[in-house]
Chains A and B, each alone.
Chain A
Amino acid sequence: MKEYTLDCLGEACPVPLMKTEKKINSMEVGDVLVVQIDHSCAMKNVPEWARTQGYNVEIEEVEDGEWEVVIEKTK
């Protein structure tokens, strides 16, 4: 199980989502991806996309207005 970090700080929607999609597709099942974002719109569509794919998702607010979306590729 590997953990990857994707730095999307300062990137506006939809860039974080598209980067996440690409990165997840290159990962093995069981790997974890941490997406760092600070765009409030990405806070909505990245977790929503990951959940509809059936992955486990957690959101953590690390700073005011800065989040880490933790996605586990479960399948």
Chain B
Amino acid sequence: MSENGKSIQRSGARAPRKPKKSQIPYGMAVLIVMIIIGIALSSRSATLAMYWIFGSCFGFVLQKSRFCFTASMRDPWITGSTSVTKAVMVALAITTVGFTAIKYGAFLNGLPIPGMSYVVPISFATAVGGILFGTGMVIAGGCASGTLMRVGEGFGMQMLSLFFFLVGSLLGAYHFGFWKINFISNGPKIFLPDYFGWFGAVVIQLLIIACIYIAADLWQKKKMGA
């Protein structure tokens, strides 16, 4: 599996590898348990079962693709590699189109637009929160999804991250009212379609994403020469 066909010469006698145990039986057992939990959840509520299925699939994709939001924001500064950054931009572009379709569909049918509670005020607090979160995720070795995924892989250090992630979230949720009244709710709420129309909002957002993508590509060429 070498780049040029021949393998790298390594000095010294290496201990022979003991054959790896097959993990397939464990995988089958986990799959059966997951199906049982899914059936149990669906008997209580169909929505819960859907959450379960989507959550499991999302975790699988994250793990297999080694997708990491932390790396997308961190690697450009450490090594100059922007391959993950570009992947995140592509993902954002796809979700932009998808979410617009869902929201615009509801809007056309005169239904309440879903997800509008996530249009939250932006202010100085947004930037401060971003810096805090960014610092934390680099130290912890993963953002929320990355930490959860690696706990599943059995990485010990990030079980510690997950524990304090829970502690921090609980503390934050407990004090959230104070922050909301005093800092967060002062900012303006911006929902792009209100300002540029539905079509304009999509075009503007995709243009911004495309600019970041191109910038990321140029950044990697400049930093790594490839």
Contacts and interface: CB of A to CB of B under 8 A. Distances in A.
Interface of A: 1-3, 10-15, 17-18, 21, 32, 34, 38-41, 43-45, 48-49, 51-53, 56-59, 62-65, 70, 72
B12 interface: yes
Interface of B: 1-4, 7-12, 17, 20-21, 23, 63, 66, 68, 70-71, 74-75, 78-79, 81, 83, 138, 140-142, 146, 150, 153-158, 224-226
B66 A44 contact: yes
A49 to B, nearest CB: 5
Given A59-B1, A70-B8, 9 more contacts: A1-B9, A12-B140, A12-B142, A13-B74, A32-B11, A41-B142, A48-B81, A48-B83, A56-B2
B150 A40 contact: yes
B226 A3 contact: no
Most buried by B among A44, A51, A63, A64: A44
Contacts of B142: 12-13, 41
Contacts of B153: 40, 65
Contacts of A39: 141, 150, 155
A15 B157 CA distance: 13
B75 A14 contact: yes
Most buried by B among A1, A18, A72: A72
B155 A17 contact: no
Contacts of A43: 66
A3 B83 contact: no
Contacts of B4: 56
A65 B26 CA distance: 15
A38 B20 contact: no
B224 A52 contact: yes
Most buried by B among A2, A12, A18, A63: A12
Q: 6 closest Cβ contacts across the A-B interface? A: A12-B141, A44-B66, A3-B11, A72-B8, A52-B226, A52-B224
A14 B68 CA distance: 12
